[in-house]
Structure 1
Amino acid sequence: MTGLAGTRRLLRLVPVDTRGTAVGVVWAVLSLGSGVGLMACAAWLISRAAEQPPVLTLTFAVVGVRALALSRAAFRYLERLRSHDAAFRMLAALRVRVHAALEPLAPAGLPAFRQGDLLARLVDDVDTMQDLPLRVVGPALTAAAVSAFSVALVALVLPGAGAVLAVALLAAALAVPLATAWAARRADAALAGARGRLAGDVVELLRALPDLAVAGAVEARLAALETQDRELVRLTRRQSAAAGLGAGLAALAAGGTVVAMVLVGVPAVRAGDLGGVWLAVVVLVPLAAFEAVGLLPPALSAWQRVRRSGARLLEIVETPVPVVDPPAPRALVVGRVPHLRLEAVSAAWPGGGDVVRDVDLDLPPGRRLAVVGASGAGKSTLVAVLARFLEPTGGRYRVDGVDVRELAADDVRSLLGLVGQDAHVFASTVRENLRLAAPDADDPALVGALRAARLGDWVESLPDGLGTWVGERGAAVSGGQRQRLALARALLADRPVLVLDEPTAGLDPATADALVRDVLAAAGGRTVVLVTHRTSDLARLVDVGLLDGVVEVAAAGGSASAAEARVLR
């Protein structure tokens, strides 16, 4: 992200608290300005005290030193308090904005990002954005204001010295940050990406650890991570070395300016243009003034980090949304089972060709339909279309006769209770996992949903019952139990349309057939779409009236790139 246009995009992304940041800058200017005043007052006091005047002539300066010392600390505290409060408010708003942009991408748009790298963007890159007000805008404005004040103060005592200080501060403000940025340019450019790649590989290693252990590939993966970590350490050290270079150059510039002020001030004293007591003020004030200039090299480095992290966040925010809501969505009629209809629908995942093509499905209220087909035929893609995770590339999808392009995607999704192939179970209790679907449900209702999913006996056998912890991603339960928990959650949500995508995955055939029967019996008047590759008992389910029909989704021409549907029964 470069240029003025990139900066504008970044500023539109980051909700900076302008008022809070401005107040923080004011306190910072007062704090550093107090430091400059303290240096000037102390220098005059020391020089004047060396002449051993009456003590009363020093009283004002003594009081000034004490007051400025205390005010500097007080203003610094107020600056930190106000500027960090503004930064944290900005971070909270930015996190909401990024998550709001991420939510519509699920699930079709998420494969564009590695999970670990996405986590690094949501944590590290978002946190980096607090540097914009804290370490970029604030220090730059503070340095400009304090430098102007210092030059004015010195010029008031000796105009020539003020001009020298102005040139020195301007030169240091330009040269030192640029030298620091040049030294850190490669590290700054590579650091955010290196962190994201390392985070992605660590997450992948943790998830694939059992398979890697069986394959004997753990050591090789750990060695690769160690190599990445060494590279990350090298980049961090290079960035730190550049920051050290900036601090050293700033100190060198300050020392050089002090020497220059001596060369200007001593002749002025000899010529009678400057009192000897004021020479110390002219010579020592630049030391305090350069404290403000010393903020600029870190500010430029922080700006580089902000730009890199901002570009990574903009990739999320600017990723095209798979399903776009209309400007003025039509309202759905609630409280009844809708009529869903797909008419010659084709669909594709982002970046690929059509997976399903010219599919017709008619789902009037209460219909129970099974969709079967081989792996790769497009069954899950069809489910994604029904749930408005994918926009059809052709044909029409209607709800009660209304094209879904005229409806809000969330309104359409609110009609469906969806159980996917890899249903997610949260690291919580059985009770809390179920209450995601119905927050106000009592324990008898939860147990009833579990019984409908054939988990009644299982939950009663648990030591803590509904309060049993299921572990990270349901690690404490079996794959079949995890799938049935998700199914119970969908039943508890009581949506008018129930879409079950391979609900019997991980179950033995007898349990799978019994579960399908129980769920269909518990569905009541809901519309049910059962997606499965198992066809063993579907004909009998049609015969006894639990299913109205079976639709086969088959790859057209023997290819998974296209599909057509045909009614079997």
Structure 2
Amino acid sequence: MNETGVITTLRPWLRHLARRRGRLAIGALLMLLALMAALGLLALSGWFITATGLTGLALAAGAAVTLDVYVPGGGIRAFALTRTLARYGERLYNHDTVLRLLADLRGHLFSVLAALDLASLSRRRASDWLNRLTADIDSLDSLFLRLLAPALVALVAILALSGFVALWAPLAGGSVALVLGVAWVWLTFGQARWGMAASRRRVTELERLRGRVIEHLTGMAELETFGALAEQRQRLDAIEARLREDQRQLGRIAALGLSLGGLMVGLAWLLAFWVGATLWEAERLSGPVLVMIPLAIMALNEAVMALPMAFTQFGATLAAAERLNALEAARVAPGDLATRRLPTAGPLSLQLDRVSLRYPGALKAALADVSLTLAVGERVALCGPSGSGKSSLAALVARQLRPDSGALYLGGCAVEHLDEEALRRRLAVLTQDTELFDDSLAANLWLGDPQASEAALWQRLDDVELGDWARELPHGLATRVGEGGRRLSGGQARRVALARLMLRDPGLVLLDEPFNGLDAPLARRLAARLDQWLEGRSVIVFSHHHEPEAQPLPGVNRRVTLPDQG
């Protein structure tokens, strides 16, 4: 990848960093302060020790000389204290900054994932999306802390030290700038290019390994049953072998970079010492300064040696940025005219005009030339067998999918032209899957209406016959429901989802198998209560059953059969 491509790939993430430019600048200054204090400490110590030794020799020879030990002694203590405090403050402050950046990036990426349509989400497993949200974002934390800031600080230190040396020996200063400048270019751009392929492969193989391990663990019984366990382990072994090889290659590249960095720093101080010795011999440079210059250059090892390892792994950061950029590009964005607003109250009409939809790679269309009209305030039961496209139709109305052809109109407006906030506020969908988060019962209910009072929460729990159960819980509404609601039974989780839905005030309600998993008597009682809540709203109830007595449906006006798309 060329330099333009690298900048284009990283530009969105550099913009995110720029939002905290103040903290990043302070962090970089702390890094520079710690490094300059280290340089000053070693340089002044070398000067002071040499000056003290030469003064002692002169006094022993009977010469009348003086040396102020208080100023350099105080300077050494000041540099030592500054280095310690700056290093501690830099670590504390920069890691806090990086944690804030990670929170920003994860929040942003979660919003991107939430905006992906179902077709995009279905292409990958949940573990793959989790990897994007964690591992890829973690790879980007090196962008500031291990790449940009250390490289910039090292470059500033090289230029500053070269200028400092040039005050006594211009030729030595120029030599230091040339040698260490070449070293800096190689240890950043050179190491990044050399390790690019292996570090990018390593990220890909790690993702593949995670996916295979999850497959292995979740499908172990099936693999064992069909005798495929050994083959699956061989695949894992092959991936691990490739990872080890890439890791060895990256280790060799980083080790060479470290060796080269040490060699170039050594060459720089050797050249400076040689030039200084020549000047000393010509009595144009004092002995303490002659010692101070190479010692100051040696202190640059601290800055230079941090570069090879980080830039050798630059390909991993770039690959993570590319994958996250691809997610940004796949995000479903509203149309250019997505400014139409729905009425803030009252039922909504819905019209589907010859809508067709086919999922990528599917053998058949999910929907083919489907037309449907739902009048204002009407309740329709949309029935059909599995695979007839009921859930796909609901996703189209919710704009989680885009039709391949045809049009959808909600409240007389084309769905793709509707304001996002207005659409989410006026449309309520109860899907077949019950989505609960690992949080309190109250927090899961407040997703329906964040402004709802606790009294309203209890009322809706009573409506779904969970109020008495919730009151007996040790922590009441504060009880955590577990990941995916696993601490609840399937029926309880379904009723919590119904209670959450009833906290909203939509104009159109889509209910996909609303009483799935509930026994018939309970379903009939809930249907009666739900019927009251649905008064004055437009409703579509999706059901596998064609017979009215097969499943209670809340007060539908008519039934429409959706044919099997096969």
> Which shifted more, 119-128 or 86-95?
86-95
Report how far residue 465 of structure 1 moved: 6.1
Match of 1:417, SS state, is strand
Q: Match of 1:426, SS?
A: coil
Check whether the contact 2:196–2:314 (CA below 8 A) recurs between aligned residues.
Answer: no
Q: What pairs with 1:365-514 in structure 2 (closer than 5 Å)?
A: 365-441=376-452, 445-450=456-461, 452-453=463-464, 455=466, 469-507=480-518
Q: 1:43 aligns with which of 37, 42, 46?
A: 46
- The amino acid that maps onto 2:353 is E
Taking a change above 3 Å as real, the CA distance of residues 25 and 446 of structure 1, as seen in their structure-2 partners, is closer
In the alignment, the residues of structure 2 paired with residue 273 and residue 303 of structure 1 have an alpha-carbon distance, to the nearest angstrom, of 46
**1:67-466 alignment, distance < 5 Å:** 67-80=78-91, 83-84=94-95, 86-177=97-188, 180-181=191-192, 184-203=195-214, 228=239, 232=243, 235-236=246-247, 239-240=250-251, 242-301=253-312, 303-321=314-332, 324-327=334-337, 329-349=339-359, 354-441=365-452, 445-450=456-461, 452-453=463-464, 455=466
TM-aligned CA distance change 1:2 to 1:551, over 3 Å: farther
Report how far residue 314 of structure 1 moved: 0.8
Q: State the SS of the aligned residue for 1:112.
A: coil
What TM-score results when the alignment is normalised by the length of structure 2?
Answer: 0.85
Return the match for 1:22 from 15, 20, 25. 25
Tell me the equivalent position of 2:36.
Answer: 33
1: distance between equivalents of 2:340 and 2:403?
19
Deviates more, 1:448-457 or 1:127-136: 448-457
Structure-2 separation of matches of 1:535 and 1:59: 97
The aligned amino acid for 1:190 is R
Residues 6-31 of structure 1, C-alpha deviations (whole Å, 9 max, x = no match) = 41342223312334333433333333
- Amino acid of the structure 2 residue aligned with 1:395: G
TM norm structure 1: 0.84
Q: Tell me, yes or no, if the aligned pair for 1:120 and 1:195 is still in contact at 8 Å.
A: no
Deviations 1:358-408 (A, max 9, x none): 222222232121111121111111111122212233333222222223212
The letter for the 2-side match of 1:387 is A
Q: Distance in 2 between matches of 1:530 and 1:213?
A: 42
Q: Distance in 1 between matches of 2:141 and 2:481?
A: 36
1:186 deviates by 4.3
Partner Cα distance (1:267, 1:86) in 2 = 48
Report the Cα distance in structure 2 between the residues aligned to 1:240 and 1:398, rounded to whole angstroms.
Answer: 59
Q: Is the 8 A contact 2:512 2:541 kept in 1?
A: yes
Q: 1:537 aligns with which of 545, 548, 552?
A: 548
State the alpha-carbon separation in 1 of the partners of residues 224 and 533 from structure 2. 42
Per the TM alignment, residue 288 of structure 1 is displaced from its structure 2 partner at its CA by 1.6
When residues 265 and 401 of structure 1 are mapped into structure 2, their CA distance, relative to the original with a 3 A threshold, is closer
Separation in structure 2 between the aligned mates of residue 417 and residue 335 of structure 1, nearest angstrom: 14
- Residues 363 and 39 of structure 1: is their aligned pair in 2 closer, same or farther, counting only changes over 3 Å? same
Question: How many pairs does the alignment contain?
Answer: 554
Q: Give the CA RMSD over aligned residues.
A: 3.5
- The answer for the alignment partner of 2:557 in structure 1 is 548
Report the residue type matching 1:484 in the other structure: R
Paired letter, 1:39: L
Secondary structure of 2:382's match?
A: strand
- The alpha carbon displacement at 1:182 in A equals 6.4
Contact residue 21 and residue 86 of structure 1 kept, 8 A: yes
Check conservation: 1:178, 1:297, Cα contact below 8 A.
no
Cα 1:9–1:277, aligned 2, differ >3 Å: closer, same or farther? closer
Equivalent in 539, 553, 565 of residue 528 of structure 1: 539
Deviations 1:159-198 (A, max 9, x none): 3333332332123223445664466444411232233334
The equivalent of 1:567 in structure 2 is none
Secondary structure of 1:346's counterpart equals strand
Q: Deviations over 1:89-131 (max 9, x none)?
A: 4333333332222221143321233321221221222132232
For 1:343, give the aligned amino acid: D
Whole-angstrom CA distance in 2 between matches of 1:191 and 1:399:
48
Amino acid paired to 1:46: I
Please say if residues 135 and 298 of structure 1, whose CA atoms lie closer than 8 Å, have aligned partners that are also in contact.
no
d(CA) in 2 for partners of 1:288, 1:464: 59
Q: Which amino acid aligns with 1:24?
A: G
Change (3 A) 1:28 1:61: same
2:62 is matched with which residue? Answer: none
Deviation by residue 1:265-286 (Cα, 9 ceiling, x = unmatched):
4444334343333321233222
Query: What is the alpha-carbon distance in structure 1 between the residues aligned to residue 24 and residue 173 of structure 2?
Result: 30
Q: Provide the C-alpha distance between the structure 1 equivalents of 2:532 and 2:225, rounded to a whole number of angstroms.
A: 42
SS in 1 for 2:506: coil
Contact 2:428 2:504 in 1 (8 A): yes
Please list the CA deviations of residues 250-303 of structure 1 after superposition, one character each: whole Å capped at 9, or x if unmatched. 223333444444444444433434333332123322202343332332442354
Aligned residue identity for 1:383: A
The letter for the 2-side match of 1:537 is P
Structure 1 contact 158–282 (Cα < 8 Å) conserved: no
Offset of 1:329 from its aligned partner? Answer: 0.5
Which is further off, 107-116 or 197-206?
A: 197-206
Shift of 1:462: 6.4
Letter of the 1:547 counterpart: V
Tell me if structure 2 keeps the 8 A contact 1:177–1:298.
Answer: no
Report if the CA contact (8 A) 2:24-2:97 is conserved. yes
Q: Is the 8 A contact 2:42 2:296 kept in 1?
A: yes
Range moving further from structure 2, 383-392 or 171-180: 171-180
Moved more, 16-25 or 231-240: 231-240
Contact 2:545 2:551 in 1 (8 A): no
The one-letter code of the counterpart of 1:20 is R
Task: Name the CA shift for 1:170/1:459 in 2 (closer, same or farther; >3 Å).
Answer: closer
Q: Distance in 1 between matches of 2:123 and 2:76?
A: 60
SS of the equivalent of 1:536 reads coil
The secondary structure found in structure 2 opposite 1:551 is strand
CA distance in 2, matches of 1:184, 1:225: 24
Q: Is the 8 A contact 1:187 1:239 kept in 2?
A: yes
State the AA in 2 paired with 1:301. Answer: T
